[in-house]
Chain A
Amino acid sequence: AQKVTQAQTEISVVEKEDVTLDCVYETRDTTYYLFWYKQPPSGELVFLIRRNSFDEQNEISGRYSWNFQKSTSSFNFTITASQVVDSAVYFCALSEVNYGGSQGNLIFGKGTKLSVKP
Chain B
Amino acid sequence: EAQVTQNPRYLITVTGKKLTVTCSQNMNHEYMSWYRQDPGLGLRQIYYSMNVEVTDKGDVPEGYKVSRKEKRNFPLILESPSPNQTSLYFCASSLAPPTSGTLQTQYFGPGTRLLVL
From B15-23, B40-48, B78-86, the one touching the partner chain is B40-48
Which residues of chain A have C-beta atoms less than 8 A from B48's C-beta? 104-106
Which residues of chain B have C-beta atoms less than 8 A from A109's C-beta? 42
A105 in contact with B58 given A43-B110, A45-B90 (CB within 8 Å): yes
A-side interface size class = 20 to 34
Cα A93 to Cα B42 in complex, Å, equals: 10
How many interface residues does B have (CB within 8 Å)?
A: 28
Cα A101 to Cα B99 in complex, Å, equals: 11
A101 and chain B: residue at smallest CB distance? B56
Cα A106 to Cα B48 in complex, Å, equals: 9
| Inter-subunit contact A45/B108 (CB<8 Å) | yes
A49 and chain B: residue at smallest CB distance? B103
| Inter-subunit contact A95/B44 (CB<8 Å) | no
Shortest beta-carbon distance from B10 to chain A in Å: 12
| Inter-subunit contact B99/A95 (CB<8 Å) | yes
A4-25 contacts to B, CB under 8 A, are 6
Which residues of chain B have C-beta atoms less than 8 A from A96's C-beta? 99
| Inter-subunit contact A110/B106 (CB<8 Å) | no
The answer to the question of A50 belonging to the interface, with a C-beta cut-off of 8 Å to chain B, is yes
Which residues of chain A have C-beta atoms less than 8 A from B43's C-beta? 45, 91, 93, 108, 111
A108 and chain B: residue at smallest CB distance? B43
A50 in contact with B110 given A107-B45, A111-B42 (CB within 8 Å): no
Cα A104 to Cα B98 in complex, Å, equals: 6
A29 and chain B: residue at smallest CB distance? B99
| Inter-subunit contact A44/B108 (CB<8 Å) | yes
| Inter-subunit contact B42/A50 (CB<8 Å) | no
User: What are 7 A-B pairs with beta-carbon distances under 8 A?
Assistant: A35-B98, A43-B111, A45-B90, A47-B105, A95-B97, A95-B99, A104-B97
Question: What 5 new A-B contacts, CB under 8 Å, besides A44-B111, A103-B97?
Answer: A45-B108, A50-B98, A101-B56, A104-B50, A108-B45
Q: Which residues of B approach A to under 8 Å, CB–CB?
A: 31, 33, 35, 40-45, 48-50, 56, 58-59, 88, 90, 92, 97-100, 103, 105-106, 108, 110-111
Which 9 pairs, one residue from A and one from B, show the smallest C-beta to C-beta distance? A110-B42, A45-B108, A108-B43, A104-B48, A95-B98, A104-B97, A103-B99, A111-B42, A97-B99
